[in-house]
Amino acid sequence: MDADRLHSSSLTPGRWLLAVFVASVLLSAPLALAADDPAFIGPVRVRDLSPISMLRLDFVPAHACSDDGSLSVLRVNYSEANVFMVSDAAENFLEARRQQGGLSASDVHALMQGKSDFFIFDAELAITDFEYIRALSKRTQVRIEWPVMSRGGGFLDHTIEEFHSATGLNSADRNMIDRNDVNIAARINGSTFALTGGGTHTTSGDPTIAVQHSFPVGPDADLVLETAAKIALGGERGFFSSGASDLGVQLSAERRFSRDAFYGGINFVRVGNGRVFRVFRLSNSPGVIAAWERRLGTRTWGIVQTTWSRETLKPASHSPLDDDRIQVTAGVRRKLGSRLIGTVALTENIVHFKNTPDIGVHVSIAWFLNR
């Protein structure tokens, strides 16, 4: 069995980003709009925050390229997700244990001695994506993305437990494991892994380079073709990189009306020959995206979007890990100045609850460097 301990770190870039965003909203009210403001901003740039999906190339909804061939944008996207994924076998073990507390070495050993495959993933995951987008022409853009990734106990456990209690929802034995700690253990297809501890571990992820080209199909409609590559710069790092480069393609459609815009897309990711935790192989994954954006005022937009995708980690026998992932994101964005746009959003899992984050928060700030 592979085992690791977490290392503490005081680096929490998302908390600083959130503070900057709130301050910008409070201070930006007197600023005027630029004359060439776009009617729509596009879907929220939020990734799939499922633990395994974070390790591979992941598409976010595409937006048609601007007609401004000199456009360049610097964008910082911060997402944090509370993840509590427990298989039936692990849930039965927690109930039989009849005590609270983190997973001890004896608990992990007892789980590994069972006959059934199992998994427990209790942690909070965060990604801070730094994106630079540059127009190569009026219809072609290149995007470079580099993430900083964090894993720790987080701060949302108490909030989610109180919400489940108030609404009568099943807590899935959340109260049987300590809050704000990392408790991860799994045996899948005969391979095992365990990682427990406290604190936060932060490191850089793998960069992504993407090129997209939009094709007008009407005065207010576009098709967008995007190709992307995630470039692995190091070996496998648990929950931070699969250690392999991935390739993918996405085809999106966009239709704009006076106050509403609709987006849809399909994508496919071909993962490299990498492993997760040195034992688990990944598989290729298709995905579908749909979004609706509405102008709420001269400087405010609302957005609702949903994503569907197949699980990348495939067990030999059926388990919740093999279920489809369906997540819904709702948010609001606001013009903060002549060249600054901020977005806040929440993501929630639906239909299948044992293979996706319970809830995620998303904050984004985009600077239009050249218009």
Closest to 66 in 3D by CA, of 137, 12, 13, 16 = 137
What number does CATH give the domain 2-370? 2.40.160.40
Residue that wins the pLDDT comparison between 275 and 62: 62
Where residue 167 falls (left for φ over 0; alpha for ψ -120 to 50; beta otherwise) is alpha
> Residue 150's pLDDT is what?
84
Where residue 239 falls (left for φ over 0; alpha for ψ -120 to 50; beta otherwise) is left
Q: Which of 72-76, 124-128, 215-219 has the lowest mean pLDDT?
A: 124-128
Convert the pLDDT of each residue in 155-211 to its tens digit. 555 555 555 455 555 555 556 666 667 778 888 777 777 777 666 778 888 999 999
> Residue 255's pLDDT is what?
94
Question: What residues does each domain of the chain span?
Answer: 2-370
Q: Return mean pLDDT, the chain.
A: 77
Convert the pLDDT of each residue in 248-265 to its tens digit. 999 999 999 999 999 999
Backbone angles phi, psi at 360, to 5 degrees: -135, 145
CA-to-CA dists, residue 252 to 222, 224, 249, 283, 288, angstroms: 8, 5, 10, 23, 10
pTM of the model: 0.79
CA distance linking residue 335 with residue 338, whole number of Å: 8
Question: For the chain, what's the residue count?
Answer: 371
Residue 30 pLDDT greater than 50, yes or no: no
Residue that wins the pLDDT comparison between 238 and 317: 238
CA-to-CA dists, residue 71 to 133, 210, 216, 261, 371, angstroms: 8, 16, 18, 21, 5
> Residue 156's pLDDT is what?
55
